[in-house]
Structure 1
Amino acid sequence: MAGSTDTAGAPADRLGRLRATALSVYAGLFYAVLYLPILLLVVLSFNDSQSIGLPFKGVTLRWFEEVLGSSAMRTSIANSVLLGIASSVIATVLALMLALGFRNDFAFKNLLMKVVLLPILVPGIVGGVIYLVFFGYAELPFGVWSTALPVHITWVLPFAFLTLFPRVHGLDRSLEEAAADLGARPWVTFRRVTFPLIKPGVVATTMFAFTLSFDEFIRTLFSIGNERTVPVHLWSLLSDQMAPFLPAVGVVIMAISMMVSLAGFALSARADRRPR
């Protein structure tokens, strides 16, 4: 009987090992496709060569010096950072107000929620053309603050709402009701009860919204006019020439986005650990 059990268990063991091997190969291919291009970009940004590509001819930092030493690049970075801060803060505040409002029942609630999420469903190039036509008819001067800012807020807002709404919806409203019973006004209840509970989500949402705004290209291209953000400036460099410092530009963009994301995760985790 023991021999027959071992014989029956052998195919199952082989099948399990085969499945584990297949999953390992799949995971390896997945991570290779995901991260090897990023690794190649980083390697090429240090390549001491006048052309973009291999072979690797040596290590140099001159491409980063050229990128950071360019006044046009510094201006585009400043535009992207300031635009990202403004649009993320405004969009997060609006999303928080919407999330708090959607806790209550009112007429056309489902329709309004679909309207809030509509920008996600509109393709970027279609949205860009719509903004271009609208601002043209409105005779608004194209620029970072006049046209690109409302475009970025419109683009970031639904993502901020989707991030915040579950957190706000899951709040225990009895805590707010208890504060109201003790005489706290609505603003005091929000400031001292509601906001501390959702603060980690608000911080994470703001950082996430910043990265969305910082990396946005298509809608920005149609709405920013002659000014430049980092993605638009990179596109203009690509359209003019394949300069050898372009990988360094990509690394700078990626580094800023990663630092903001890591800072958001750290602040959110710290706020979660803080005793209430």
Structure 2
Amino acid sequence: MRRERRSLGFWLLAAFFGLFVLFLYGPISTIVILSFQGPDGGLTFPMNGVSTHWFANLFERQAVGDFGGSFTRSIELGLLVMAITLVVSVSAGLAFRRRFRGATFLFYLTVASLIVPSILIGLGIGLIFSIAGWQPAWYSSALGAHLTWTLPFGLLIMFAVFNRFDRAYEEAARDLGAGAWQTFRFVVLPLIAPSLVGVALFGFTLSYDEFARTLMTAGSFNTLPLEIYGMTTNVTTPVLYALGTLTTGFSFAIILICLATALILQRRRARHGSDAGKGV
């Protein structure tokens, strides 16, 4: 077969896309490369040898920074935010399927935090805790600040999911004698499961790397983004790049796991649907 010649517009768009990818991942690739500096390496090019010395140094006791503690706090906070975002988003999505008084006002109030500057939200929550005499902490005030960022996204995703959800499945389940909880557990939940993975991914990743909302609410113990920011003024070795490489790799791993889970759930749902069609 004769290949169709690509137009000039195609090559221009391809070049633009290549520049965009370079702009997006160029800084990350630079950090990854410099993290493999030799023991006498510095923070810039040219590289002085190649080794994994700074990755090993990352797990040793540091004069500045608490890598292990901040990483653990970010993971725990991300998991808390993910769980709460998932439960509240699904519950709110189910509630908004029926009209009720004040629904429009409540919706706009929920998504308003997306347009308010992050630093102002963090400052406001920090002031509330200060006025109330409560001690700000990553598991309380920072948790609330992160939820103002993740819940609107989760709610918007669930709105999109339920807007295209076919209620005939629920009606069929009720005709067969299923109760409300059985209908949700055995019919609705399996159908929306891939979307729930997306909500969970949003909740975790948005919390894991959140800086502005955490700055005024974390209290005495830093999360990982705050720790990295503090290290930029004190650490003068590639150990900072090694930390960036590990956290970036961890973020990509979480994304790939969630995407793989969503794909598996989608294929399983499609297979069960085809099996049910054959049975009929």
1:175 and 2:166 matched: no
Out of 56, 64, 74, the position equivalent to 2:55 is: 64
Contact 2:110 2:152 in 1 (8 A): yes
User: In structure 1, how many angstroms separate the alpha carbons of the residues matched to 2:61 and 2:93?
Assistant: 42
1:51 and 2:42 matched: yes
Change (3 A) 1:105 1:142: same
Q: Report the AA paired with residue 201 of structure 2.
A: M
User: Which residue does the alignment assign to 2:9?
Assistant: 19
Matched length: 262
Contact 2:74 2:208 in 1 (8 A): yes
The secondary structure found in structure 2 opposite 1:99 is helix
Contact 1:125 1:219 in 2 (8 A): yes
User: In structure 1, how many angstroms separate the alpha carbons of the residues matched to 2:17 and 2:7?
Assistant: 15
User: In structure 1, how many angstroms separate the alpha carbons of the residues matched to 2:106 and 2:59?
Assistant: 44
User: Which residue does the alignment assign to 1:36?
Assistant: 26
Q: Deviations over 1:199-255 (max 9, x none)?
A: 111122112211111011111111011111110110111133444311112112211
Q: What is the CA distance between 1:18 and its match in structure 2?
A: 3.2
1:191 and 2:181 matched: no
Question: Which structure features the higher share of helix residues?
Answer: 1
Runs of 4+ in 1 over 4 A off after TM superposition: none
Out of 64, 80, 84, the position equivalent to 2:78 is: 84
Out of 215, 227, 231, the position equivalent to 1:221 is: 215
Q: What is the CA distance between 1:122 and its match in structure 2?
A: 1.2
User: In structure 1, how many angstroms separate the alpha carbons of the residues matched to 2:120 and 2:233?
Assistant: 21
The root-mean-square deviation of aligned C-alpha atoms, in Å, is: 1.7
Structure 1 residues without counterparts, runs of 5 or longer: 1-12
User: In structure 2, how many angstroms separate the alpha carbons of the residues matched to 1:50 and 1:58?
Assistant: 7
User: In structure 1, how many angstroms separate the alpha carbons of the residues matched to 2:118 and 2:59?
Assistant: 29
The structure with more radius of gyration: 1
User: In structure 1, how many angstroms separate the alpha carbons of the residues matched to 2:61 and 2:225?
Assistant: 15
User: In structure 1, how many angstroms separate the alpha carbons of the residues matched to 2:149 and 2:35?
Assistant: 31
Output the TM-score relative to the length of structure 1.
Answer: 0.89
Q: Counterparts of 1:21-170 in structure 2 under 5 Å?
A: 21-48=11-38, 49-70=40-61, 72-170=66-164
Contact 1:88 1:153 in 2 (8 A): no
Contact 1:99 1:169 in 2 (8 A): no
Output the TM-score relative to the length of structure 2.
Answer: 0.88
The secondary structure found in structure 1 opposite 2:24 is helix
Structure 2 residues without counterparts, runs of 5 or longer: 273-280
Q: Report the AA paired with residue 20 of structure 1.
A: F
User: Which residue does the alignment assign to 2:277?
Assistant: none
Q: Deviations over 1:17-71 (max 9, x none)?
A: 4323322322222222112211111001112244211001111212112223348
Contact 1:217 1:232 in 2 (8 A): yes
Q: Deviations over 1:74-130 (max 9, x none)?
A: 111111111101111111110111111111111222211111111111111111111
The secondary structure found in structure 1 opposite 2:222 is coil
User: In structure 2, how many angstroms separate the alpha carbons of the residues matched to 1:256 and 1:188?
Assistant: 37
